[in-house]
Amino acid sequence: MTADINVVILSVIIGTLAAIVYSLRILVLMERRVARIDENLLAITKRIALEELKIEREEKKIEAVMGGRKKKKKR
């Protein structure tokens, strides 16, 4: 009878350890996914920043052209 209880206790301990190892494996995989998402977001952010710089340069060019013309003042 004690042997049966020992087997049950040992099985529960081994099952718990297996569940912990599996959970850690899943956590590592999720961390890798999040890291990849962060890298992609960083790349997207860099592209957006470059596009904003291009837009600002274009705006300056347009303002320079428009600045040469005098605007009518409202009274």
Confidence check: pLDDT of 71 > 70? no
User: Burial level of 9, CB count in 10 A (0-12/13-18/19+)?
Assistant: exposed
Q: From CA 58, how far away is CA 64, in angstroms rounded?
A: 10
Residue 68 confidence (pLDDT): 66
CA angle 7, 12, 16 (to 5 degrees): 145
Confidence of residue 2 (pLDDT cuts 50, 70, 90): confident
Tens digit of each residue's pLDDT (9 = 90 or more) over 11-63: 999 999 999 999 999 999 999 999 999 999 999 999 999 999 999 999 999 99
Q: How far apart are CA 69 and CA 71, in angstroms?
A: 6
Single-letter amino acid, residue 70: K
